[in-house]
Amino acid sequence: MADKITVGYTHLSGCTGCTVALADNYGGLLTLLDKYVDLKYIPTLADARHIQKVDVSFVEGSVCINDKLAVEEIKETREKSAIVVALGGCACYGNITRFTRGGQQNQPQHESYLPIGDLIKVDVFIPGCAPTPELIRNVAVMAYLLLKGTKEQKDLATAFLTPLMKLTAKNEACGCDLIVDVINQGLCMGCGSCAASCPVRAITMEYGKPNVERDLCIKCGACSAQCPRGFFNTDVISQYEAINEAIMAALQ
C-alpha cells in the first residue's frame, strides 16, 4: 500500500526485550504491517537490518560510546529518520546499562553507555522495561495518523504524542524523579500508579505515598511516566473510550 509509513528499528545495547514487546502485539502487529507500516529493517525479526531512510525510527538500547559502530549507527539513524522514538528504558534513560563498569566478556573495554538523547535529538520517549506492547502499538498508530491522517486525526495524534515528546527533556530516571517531580512539588495524591508500574517491585506504598527502594530500581522511568501527576493531558485522556475503540477498530 502506497500510503503506509516507513519504519525502521535500530538495535543498540539492549536485550531484545523491546523487540519482543513489539512482537507481543501478535495479530495486531500483523495488521499494523499489513495496513499501516512498511517495516524497512529490524534485526532479529527480519533479514534487512541496515539503516535506511524512513519516516519513523524506533531505537532499542543505549549507545556504547566505546563502540564506534554503535555511535555511527545512532547518528545515521538520526540523519535518516524524520522521527526518532527512544523505545524502552535503555534508549530513554540508560536503564540497567547505567550500572555497567566494563570488564564484561567478550568486550571488557565497553564500559560507557549513554541514553541516545545524550548524542542525538530524540522526538518521542516510550519508557519502561520492557515497554508495553500496547503503548508501542498506540504510538505506532498515532505516528501513522500524524503523517497520513486527516486534519482531525493529525490533531489527535499530536495531542496524544505531546507528553511523550516532552519526556525527552530529561535523560535520567532513578525512582527519585517520583520524589523530586511529584512529592517535592506537592502533587502526589497517593493513587499507587508508580508502585503498580514498577517492573522490579522497587516501590511500595507506605501510608499512601511511594517508598522507592533505590537498590532495586533499574532506572527504567516507568513510575514517573505512569504517574497521573507526572503528566496528565485531560483533553486526550477524557476521550479514552473513543480513542481506545478507534485503535482497536484500526487493528481489526
Nearer to other proteins, 51 or 198 (CB): 198
115, 14 contact by CB (below 8 A): no
Q: How far is the CB of 221 from other proteins (least distance, A)?
A: 8
Which residue number, 13 or 197, has a Cβ lying nearer to other proteins?
A: 197
**Least distance (Å) from other proteins to the CB of residue 228?**
5
- Whichever of 112 and 132 has its CB closer to other proteins, that residue is 132
CB of 59 to other proteins, least distance (A): 17
Provide, rounded to whole angstroms, the least separation between the CB of residue 97 and other proteins.
18
Would you tell me which residues interact with other proteins (CB under 8 A)?
21, 126-128, 130-135, 138, 160, 162-164, 166, 181, 185-193, 195-199, 204-209, 211, 220-223, 225-226, 228-234, 236-238, 240-241, 243-244
155 phi/psi in degrees, rounded to 5: -65, -45
Distances (CA, A) of 149 to 49, 74, 168, 216, 223: 28, 29, 24, 43, 32
* Residue the block writes with cell 549507527: 73
Closer to other proteins by CB, 52 or 132: give it.
132
- Please state, in angstroms and rounded to a whole number, the distance separating the CA atoms of residues 31 and 42: 17
Please, which residues have CB within 8 angstroms of residue 88's CB and are 6 or more apart in sequence?
A: 14, 17, 18, 21, 60, 61, 95, 126, 127, 128, 129, 130, 131, 220
Specify the residue, 132 or 153, whose C-beta has the smaller distance to other proteins.
132
